[in-house]
Amino acid sequence: MKTTNLNIRIDKETKEKAEAIFHELGITTSAAINMFLKATIRKNTLPFSIELGTPNKETLMTIKEAEELLKDPNTKYHSSLKEFLESLEK
C-alpha cells in the first residue's frame, strides 16, 4: 500500500501530552493517528461520541423543577438581584 504524508498544526503542549500517552501504550503518534483514521473509515463516523453536554439526572430534575415554577402563577419574579435580596428581607 502506498503511503502519503499528513501535516497538521497542533499546539506544543497537546502534542507532548499525547506523545507521552502513546509512549506509555507502546505506539507512535503516527500509529495512533492511523488507528483513528481507520476507525473513522470502519465506523463511517468519528470513533467517539461528540456531545454538547447531556445533563445528568440532578440537572434534569432541576430543569423540570424550573419549568414547573414557570407554569405556577404564584411564582414570584424579580427583575434585579437587588429586588430579589430585598424580597428575602421581608
Q: What is the pTM of this model?
A: 0.55
- Classify residue 1: in a domain, yes or no: no
Q: For residues 22 and 16, what is the distance between their CA atoms, to the nearest angstrom?
A: 10
- 18-66 pLDDT, tens digit each: 999 999 999 999 999 999 999 999 999 999 988 778 889 999 999 999 9
Q: Which pLDDT value is given to residue 37?
A: 97
8 has a pLDDT exceeding 90: yes
Give a yes or no: residue 41 inside a domain.
no
Query: Is residue 66 in some structural domain?
Result: yes
Alpha carbon distance 41, 81 (integer Å): 53
d(CA 88, CA 85): 5
pLDDT at 14 (0 to 100): 97
28 located within any domain: no
d(CA 38, CA 31): 10
Domain tally for the chain?
A: 1
- Flag whether 12 is in a domain: no
Residue 8 lies in a domain: no
DSSP annotation of 17: H
For residue 78, tell me if it sits in a domain: yes
User: Could you tell me the residue range of the domain that residue 72 belongs to?
Assistant: 57-89
Q: Is residue 35 part of a domain?
A: no
